[in-house]
Amino acid sequence: MLDQKFFINFFKKFSEYIFDNKEYLTELDSAIGDADHGINMSKGCKVALEKIEGSTFNSISDMLKAISMALMSSVGGASGPLYSTIFMKMSISFNNKDNPDFNDLVTALTNALNGIKALGKANLGDKTMIDVWEPVVKELNSIVSKNESIVNEKDRLIVIAKESMNQTIPLLAKKGRASYLGQRSIGHQDPGATSSYLFFKALLENLE
């Protein structure tokens, strides 16, 4: 069931993955960026966790909004406004929906993807988080349009997220600090795509 507890557990799991991979994400970012993705995301998740653990919320929407604002105030790098937008768009999608179903979740994730595309103006293949988000959200939409169960397909979806993350390695960066490197960005896995894989892994594993 998609209740507040589900979303709290998801965010705890996502934060755990970010904390565990703090060094790894920073290492990836030091190759093609400003070496702060792991540090920034850890800081953001820590502040957001403190905020949700210390409060009670009237709705899923309010809780996701609190996460969004916490990430915006504490991350500092590009991932701040981007992840903040993801949670803000999800919050807006779940407005007045306290018992959302899987279709609502897919709609919320689709709105989140559209939000980060509009904000960062990145497209598929630009070596960004979109390279994980777009294929996963596309597959989620395809599953619900066929009235099939996301829960049954969750392992396959996690594999799609992981493969999409790996596929950023040969790409030439077109956005962000990495784009200044030009050809030298080729051969490195994108840090934003990596944290996006962790996002979907945490979200999908939790579904039952």
Count the residues of the shown chain that bind other proteins, applying the rule CB under 8 A. Answer: 22
Q: Which C-beta is closer to other proteins: that of 119 or that of 150?
A: 119
CB distance 47 to 74 below 8 Å:
yes
Taking CB under 8 A as the criterion, the residue among 21, 85, 93, 194 binding other proteins is 85
Taking CB under 8 A as the criterion, the residue among 18, 78, 137, 203 binding other proteins is 78
CB distance 17 to 25 below 8 Å:
no
Over the window 101 to 140, marking each residue x when it contacts other proteins by CB under 8 A and - when it does not, the resulting string is ------------------xx--------------------
Q: Does 72 bind other proteins (CB under 8 A)?
A: yes
74: left (phi over 0), alpha (psi -120 to 50) or beta: alpha
Question: HEC states along 86-115?
Answer: HHHHHHHHCCCCCCCCHHHHHHHHHHHHHH
| Footprint on this chain of other proteins (rule: CB under 8 A) | 34, 36, 40, 69, 72-82, 84-85, 88, 119-120, 176-177
